[in-house]
Amino acid sequence: MTTNLHELFTDTRLNLHSIHLIDRAKTPEGAVVLGALAHRHAHGYLGLPFDECKAVSYFYGGLVALGLIKRIEEVVARHGIRKLLLLTRDGFAIADYLTAYGFDACSYDVVYSSRRMCLVPLLTRKEWWVLPMLFPRRHEAVYDLHVELQRLNLADVANITNFVTNDWDEFVRHLEREVPWEALVGDETDVYRDYLRSVIGATPIDAVAIVDVGWGLNSHRAIESILGQRLHGIYCGTHAHAYHTDLIDGSLFLHGQPSDRTERLMGAVEVLELFFSDASPSAIRMERRGPDGLFSPVLHDRDPEDMSRDIYVRHVQRGIRTFLQDVKPFSGEMDTSVVTDLAAEVMGNIAVNPTPGEYGTIGKIPHAREIGASRHSPISNWWRPPSHNAPPTPPEPSASGDVRPSLRVAARLAVSAVLGAKNARYLTRFVTGRIK
């Protein structure tokens, strides 16, 4: 009789190369992942007709999120972290995943933040390193000061003399020398600093960690500057030119290492960001309101493109939550490095070799890159894999009709040493579909 695993390994709608990468690793962690996927696949979770977005979010997104959570648990235990600051908007999704997973290693709070919110206050301190992030160089662009300031939702610019040029370097020099940043930014720096301190409360600063998806860590650097103190940071990844200290950890890659992994995953960075996107407005700045001076974020108005992205974001979050709930019974015995290596392997594959269905579905989802009010484009505008090869041919069935006739025995022997005999039996039953 056909097993759940046989059905999984022969379903050409899936990216079978990604599945084979997990299988070839021959790890207990991989057995858990394939068991969860096979069980869901056999019971129609991936939908009829096949739901490409659900499959990508459950398998790839779930594994990436699990890797980040395992890394968080490891850092919390190693450094005695007592509070996590989850930076928005990704922080809403990360909090959702921590809750679904049942994370209880320390407390965590979602903190209103955005690159605009963190970087703009530093202009009053003449920290000009933020200018390329706030005012990026664009090909054949005209740089209009009023337009750029309005994009960043700064105060009324009517009293600011406009400046227009097609020379980015000249534009940056003007920003440094001629713009009255103190008048434009006002008390944003002080208010945001006080807000951050209110969230941290009495927790010692060396027991606080920022958590976010990562890449350049400009927000982390800015928050440290605003607070005047260094903080731990836990991220999916940080590239080679990212801000870095010995207090920063990454789950998939750190400071551009391993280099080949970083290069490959950064080629599909929009896909990774999709897994942690949230259907909520982006924060512009923090204000004090009312007689009690309560902190209240000023939020961007949602545009139709951003709202259309919500449909996909909610779908992705459901798939990731389901995966985390499925693997939670085994997570305590799963090795962090093995999980993150598996996540990097499959993400590296979809980055360069997605199936037509994966690329067609994920590639059409709207995405915005620039800080502040900016236009959306399909993810495929940046994610351009070198090939759209068909998934590899599935292995030939054995004479018994099972792809891996000894898999149940091998899996139980491999997993028993880690999980114990009882949990190994449970996992084997889960893989073969005997647990509904």
Identity at 234, one-letter amino acid code:
I
> Structure tokens of 393?
């041919």
Overall average pLDDT of the 4-11 stretch: 93
**Residue among 111, 113, 81 nearest 95 (CA):** 111
Residue 414 lies in a domain: no
β-bridge mates for residue 233, sequence order: 210, 248
Phi and psi angles of residue 296, each rounded to the nearest 5 degrees, phi first: -145, 125
Q: Looking at residue 306, what is its pLDDT?
A: 67
> Is 356's pLDDT higher than 60?
yes
Measured between alpha carbons, how far is 111 from 101 in angstroms, rounded to an integer?
Answer: 20
Residue 161 lies in a domain: no
Measured between alpha carbons, how far is 71 from 67 in angstroms, rounded to an integer?
Answer: 6
Of all residues in the chain, what percent carry a pLDDT higher than 70?
86
> Structure tokens of 43?
């019971």
Residue range of the domain that includes 83: 54-113+194-286+302-405
Residue 329 lies in a domain: yes
With beta carbons less than 8 A apart as the criterion, state whether 40 and 46 touch.
yes
Residue 71 lies in a domain: yes
Q: Looking at residue 133, what is its pLDDT?
A: 94
Q: Looking at residue 424, what is its pLDDT?
A: 52
Task: Tell me the pTM.
Answer: 0.86
Q: Looking at residue 402, what is its pLDDT?
A: 35
Mean pLDDT of the chain: 88
With beta carbons less than 8 A apart as the criterion, state whether 209 and 85 touch.
yes
Q: Looking at residue 157, what is its pLDDT?
A: 84
Measured between alpha carbons, how far is 339 from 382 in angstroms, rounded to an integer?
Answer: 27
pLDDT tens string 311-332: 899 999 999 999 999 999 999 9
Q: Looking at residue 280, what is its pLDDT?
A: 85
Burial category of 172 from C-beta neighbours within 10 Å (exposed 0-12, middle 13-18, buried 19 and up): middle
Band (pLDDT 50/70/90 cuts) for residue 418 is: very low
Residue 427 lies in a domain: no
Residue 174 lies in a domain: no
Q: Looking at residue 279, what is its pLDDT?
A: 78
> Is 403's pLDDT higher than 90?
no
Domain count, the chain: 1
More confident of the two residues 88 and 416: 88
Residue 188 lies in a domain: no
Band (pLDDT 50/70/90 cuts) for residue 29 is: very high
Measured between alpha carbons, how far is 322 from 326 in angstroms, rounded to an integer?
Answer: 6
Residue 220 lies in a domain: yes
pLDDT tens string 95-108: 999 999 999 999 99
